């Protein structure tokens, strides 16, 4: 604009016309202006593209969240429906003893299935956060496999599946967490039972050669497509594909991979194709001969199971705000021989404390009004012997932070819900014996 204005007339001082700009200079200026416009336009387009991508990601995240919640809801409703149906049949009072026992077993199996779903979700969260702990001991893999087989035998029988184990004569010892390794084999077996048709066959093989032990779960199930094999151990992948027809969150194999790798091992799957079964192979490092020589001469697989613990004469103060849970747990402890005072609040516990004089305190943590932390603070602040009474925390909060916080607060033991009857009875018996010393 300035150059154009200067060409409208002579310079008032000199009376001469100004020299017009060189054409190349005008072209350069126009080119620069055009480039700036292009850059500005590209920047605006980039911002628009980023906004569109963010909106698309948000929509996808919402869709996946909705799908995930629907999937969890479905998987929990399935076992809960079985539990409620069996409870209704039992309430009718028209079943003979055999059918009554069958309904009881169905309730127990489906309750454990629901608990497994919750545990899998929590385990995935721990793995993502790097918060999964291993209690490493010397473990015989034969015992691990037998425990897993016992857990899945009924499910296999329901489908008339032949479930066999081919082991080794010499114990295959590893340094690992027995519960987590059992979880690995249980998940592999559960997967095999789920995808093997009625009348099929599942074989578990254990071999040990050199520095590694190998566990194989071989089934005659529906097999795996070559395209899906690379994604088999990804979280939720199964749930978005084949397992939508079979049930499951698609977490079991992801947990298997994470737990095996935490033990320094590896896992992979093979399948000849659809309808031709599958083989899952877990390899774990075994103890060296020197390490084996230092292990106590106890064959875990052959040890005689200890008799269930008894609580004869043990006085237990039970604090649980849920009336049904309080009644059931109190009855279980009474059957084990304990004298139980069951209350539903911290205030009720403190009122009962002096008159009942418990040997062991068992308390829920998450309660309305005052919680288990408040109760243990009151108990530990007592000047008389109540301040030293052993205490067990029962809670659905199961992270390592929760565990550490409960122990720091004054509880001796933390048992996550749902707790097995034998587990809590054994824990109370152990603490009662310590408290009596």
For residue 221 the two structure tokens come to 């199930």
Please enumerate in sequence order all residues whose Cβ is within 8 A of that of 140, keeping only pairs 6 or more positions apart, or say none. Answer: 171, 172, 173, 299, 300, 301
- 3-class DSSP assignment, residue 7: coil
How does strand 137-140 pair with strand 173-176? Answer: antiparallel
pLDDT along the chain (437 residues), means of 10: 47 55 70 72 72 80 72 76 89 90 87 82 74 82 92 89 88 88 92 93 91 95 89 67 50 87 93 93 85 47 55 94 91 94 93 89 89 91 74 83 86 88 91 70
Q: CA 334, CA 312: separation in Å to the nearest integer? A: 9
> What would be the CATH architecture of the domain defined by 29-132?
Orthogonal Bundle (1.10)
Is 315-435 CATH 3.40.50.2300? yes
pLDDT of residue 299: 40
Is 409 exposed, middle or buried (CB count within 10 Å of its CB: 0-12, 13-18, 19+)? middle
Which tokens in the block code for residue 300?
Answer: 């875990």
Nearest one of 368, 328, 324, 313 to 345, comparing CA atoms = 368
State the Cα–Cα distance between residues 359 and 170, nearest whole angstrom. 45
Q: Tell me what pLDDT residue 5 has.
A: 43
> Count of CB atoms within 10 A of residue 135's CB?
9
d(CA 379, CA 435): 15
Q: Which pLDDT score, from 0 to 100, does residue 297 have?
A: 41
| Environment class of 90 (CB within 10 Å of its CB; exposed 0-12, middle 13-18, buried 19+) | middle
Rounded to two decimals, what is the model's pTM? Answer: 0.59
Query: d(Cα 394, Cα 417) in Å, to the nearest integer?
Result: 6
For 120, phi then psi, to 5°, come to -60, -45
Domain with CATH 1.10.287.130 in the chain: 29-132
The residues near 4 (Cβ < 8 Å, ≥ 6 apart) are: none
Residue 286, judged by CB atoms within 10 A of its CB (0-12, 13-18, 19+), counts as buried
SS3 315: strand
CATH code of the domain occupying 137-302: 3.30.565.10
Residues of the chain with CATH 3.30.565.10: 137-302
Select from 343, 430, 423, 420 the least CA-distant residue to 390.
430
- pLDDT on residue 289: 63
Residue 120 burial class via C-beta count within 10 angstroms: exposed 0-12, middle 13-18, buried 19 and up: buried
Terminal C-alpha separation, the chain: 101
């Amino acid at each position: 604009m300035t150059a154009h204005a200067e060409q409208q007339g002579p310079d008032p001082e000199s009376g001469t016309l100004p020299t017009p700009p060189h054409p190349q200079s005008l072209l350069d200026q126009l080119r620069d202006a055009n480039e700036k416009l292009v850059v500005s336009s590209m920047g605006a387009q980039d911002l628009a593209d980023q906004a569109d991508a963010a909106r698309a990601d948000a929509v996808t995240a919402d869709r996946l969240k909705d799908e995930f919640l629907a999937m969890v809801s479905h998987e929990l409703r399935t076992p809960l429906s079985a539990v409620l149906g069996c409870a209704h049949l039992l309430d009718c009072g028209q079943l003979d003893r055999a059918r009554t026992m069958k309904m009881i077993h169905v309730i127990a199996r489906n309750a454990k299935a629901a608990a497994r779903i919750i545990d899998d979700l929590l385990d995935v969260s721990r793995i993502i956060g790097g918060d999964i702990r291993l209690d490493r001991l010397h473990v015989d893999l034969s015992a691990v496999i037998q425990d897993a087989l016992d857990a899945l035998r009924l499910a296999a029988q329901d489908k008339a599946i032949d479930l066999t184990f081919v082991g080794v004569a010499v114990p295959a010892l590893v340094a690992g967490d027995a519960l987590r390794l059992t979880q690995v084999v249980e998940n592999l077996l559960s997967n095999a039972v789920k995808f093997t048709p009625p009348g099929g066959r599942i074989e578990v093989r254990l071999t040990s050669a050199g520095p590694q032990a190998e566990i194989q779960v071989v089934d005659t199930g529906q097999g795996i497509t070559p395209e899906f094999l690379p994604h088999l151990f990804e979280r939720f992948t199964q749930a978005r594909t084949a397992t939508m027809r079979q049930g499951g969150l698609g977490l079991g194999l992801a947990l298997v991979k994470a737990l095996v790798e935490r033990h320094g091992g590896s896992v992979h799957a093979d399948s000849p194709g659809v309808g031709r079964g599958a083989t899952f192979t877990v390899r774990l490092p075994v103890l060296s001969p020197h390490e084996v020589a230092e292990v106590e001469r106890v064959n875990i697989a052959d040890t005689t199971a200890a008799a269930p613990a008894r609580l004869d004469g043990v006085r237990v103060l039970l604090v649980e705000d849920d009336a049904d849970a309080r009644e059931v747990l109190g009855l279980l402890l009474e059957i084990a021989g304990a004298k139980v005072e069951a209350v539903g609040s911290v205030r009720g516990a403190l009122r009962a404390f002096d008159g009942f004089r418990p040997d062991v305190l068992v308390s829920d943590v998450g309660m309305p009004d005052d919680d288990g932390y408040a109760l243990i603070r009151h108990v530990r602040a007592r000047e008389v012997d109540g301040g030293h009474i052993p205490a067990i925390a029962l809670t659905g909060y199961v992270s390592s932070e929760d565990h550490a916080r409960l122990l720091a607060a004054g509880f001796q033991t933390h048992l996550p819900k749902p707790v097995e009857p034998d587990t809590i009875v054994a824990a109370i018996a152990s603490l009662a014996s310590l408290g009596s010393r």
